[in-house]
Structure 1
């Protein structure tokens, strides 16, 4: 029996998200499973449209009261968040689970000072006065590296630089010390130097608070630097999951191999990068077989046109499964990689 200490903080089971549109139903997430241990950092990677951000929004309950259909279980500390109503979810959002959005300028209210917005986020979950909340907000601005936090408390979002806005967004997300932090492309719009500072800051604050982190990104270099586990998404499903070391040294899914081959290297290699040909599948009409089959260079290795007619399961070694028919054949001893 699993002990309470060993129980995961987050356990996602068969998460599915779809949206009705004029053209049909968009199947954005198609059976996502993910387990996150306490204090762990998991990176979710994949091309645009693979389902990374929609998964994050579903975890935060941001799709409630919308036209989206969300099924499956989102177990946070054993509590399923999916059936909760929007008012019920507000008790968790910010206190137990928080999010750093990709664009802090659009995530913050332009008419209110940055410090006041952080203080308000703190007061929602803590019965304190405005003065006490303001003190906490100033302290938090200082902790995330905002210079002269007392003066900056009264500044508006447009008066902050891009890096400072991202730091303020981190302060707002962490002010209540949530157990789970979701960071959705937190460094995309930042230059390399500021990006490194933000990643270091996240690591330091995670060590202080003990939070678990889900890092949504397209940057495998960032994942290699800060994550413990990696989930590779394609077509709304996980196609490979492994530790950072295993994924980079032994990528098993052809899509993961393609992503790594398209990365520039600091080793000074002279060969050209190898982009993945083609386009991701339409989420309006998913193919019957493997979602990656039309772009995969290895379908000829699988007999009976299985790639085009049958959806592969997530199988393979414990701790490093992949969703590929080649993996299934290897597990059965029918093919040698």
Structure 2
């Protein structure tokens, strides 16, 4: 069996604060196969970005404490030092940041920054790196790439900056690309162009891609498999079709119910009531129990006293829910009706 490009086991990340430890990631598991496209979705504060930053080693040298395993091509990245992590960051694992304007240095030209990313991992001359950067700008659709090489980030439009960020992330042809909200600040037309661009470059390079997003529409369009995060945990993992049509976790159903529908224009959105749990003081039981519309139906108040594990509810479909253990898929319970 082929070794997955990424295998995360029981990843936990805490940050010390004056008020106590913030448990940002709480036992995250994730496996990504080579060439696969996986989406990670969830509300703000669910641990999506912290997980991706951990994969890039961006928390090394900070006050964060990271435990668990992050196996990249069989090598555990967690115990690596900053110097040991450098050959992986950028060369083997690339990242498209959410806000390219703040991710790029304002004092250096876009082309110089892309060329520098290439020279860090390749022993080439400045002239060769410049040529490679111009070629990459052309591949991502930047008009007149030779002239634009000397432009500064503020001289690019939002869509062009995002394309330049993609060029920087892919110039070394990494085996894994992490796209953290790559289309959030873009209009619909540019968003579609960026998604098509990432897909075409992925086909060329064979990279695996992790999309970190809150946009379920993007997930439905580009991802093969989806991981739903809540409170720093994976609460549901499934193929795209199963997530949308055989949803097993009440939180995931709440996310789908809160989406606007193109079919039922007169329908009302169903928001998820309440707030996510405090990451300073996690509850003993299910992290979603206080907001769950069906927690009261589980016997012996298990949802508030016992934290559920990931349960297999179908082929390659898992959910972290006590109701999943009694076959939530075949029960007569309609979670959306209960939520109303």
Superposition TM-score, scaled by structure 2 size? 0.96
CA distance in 2, matches of 1:150, 1:323: 51
Aligned to 2:65: 69
- Residue 334 of structure 1 and its aligned partner are, at CA, apart by 11
* 3-state secondary structure, aligned to 1:177: coil
Q: Please identify, of 308-317 and 251-260, the stretch whose mean Cα deviation from structure 2 is larger.
A: 308-317
Cα deviation code 1:56-76 (max 9, x no counterpart): 000000000000000011111
Aligned to 2:183: 187
CA distance in 2, matches of 1:148, 1:294: 55
Aligned to 2:137: 141
- The correspondence for 1:244, drawn from 240, 262, 286, is 240
Query: Where does 1:31-42 land on structure 2 (aligned, <5 Å)?
Result: 31-42=27-38
Aligned to 1:198: 194
Aligned to 1:320: 317
Taking only aligned residues, the RMSD between alpha carbons, in angstroms, comes to: 1.3
- The correspondence for 2:208, drawn from 206, 209, 212, is 212
- Residue 7 of structure 1 and its aligned partner are, at CA, apart by 1.4
Aligned to 1:177: 173
- Residue 330 of structure 1 and its aligned partner are, at CA, apart by 2.5
CA distance in 2, matches of 1:186, 1:200: 12
Cα deviation code 1:78-97 (max 9, x no counterpart): 01111110111111101100
* 3-state secondary structure, aligned to 2:238: strand
- The correspondence for 2:273, drawn from 265, 277, 281, is 277
Contact 1:330 1:336 in 2 (8 A): no
CA distance in 1, matches of 2:293, 2:225: 26
Aligned to 1:291: 287
Please tell me whether residue 26 in structure 1 is matched to residue 36 in structure 2.
Answer: no
Please tell me whether residue 329 in structure 1 is matched to residue 339 in structure 2.
Answer: no
- The correspondence for 1:83, drawn from 75, 79, 85, is 79
Aligned to 2:146: 150
Contact 1:326 1:335 in 2 (8 A): no
Please tell me whether residue 49 in structure 1 is matched to residue 45 in structure 2.
Answer: yes
CA distance in 1, matches of 2:205, 2:257: 36
Aligned to 1:263: 259
* 3-state secondary structure, aligned to 1:321: strand
Aligned to 1:253: 249
Cα deviation code 1:268-289 (max 9, x no counterpart): 4311000000000000000001
CA distance in 2, matches of 1:256, 1:31: 18
- Residue 301 of structure 1 and its aligned partner are, at CA, apart by 1.4
Work out the number of aligned pairs and report it.
332
Aligned to 2:108: 112
Cα deviation code 1:129-166 (max 9, x no counterpart): 00000000000000000000000000000000000000
Superposition TM-score, scaled by structure 1 size? 0.97
* 3-state secondary structure, aligned to 2:317: coil
Cα deviation code 1:34-54 (max 9, x no counterpart): 000111000000000000000
- Residue 336 of structure 1 and its aligned partner are, at CA, apart by 6.1
CA distance in 1, matches of 2:108, 2:5: 34
CA distance in 2, matches of 1:267, 1:225: 18
CA distance in 2, matches of 1:334, 1:224: 24
Structure 1 spans left out of the alignment, 5+ residues: none
- The correspondence for 1:59, drawn from 51, 55, 69, is 55
CA distance in 2, matches of 1:107, 1:267: 39
Please tell me whether residue 94 in structure 1 is matched to residue 84 in structure 2.
Answer: no
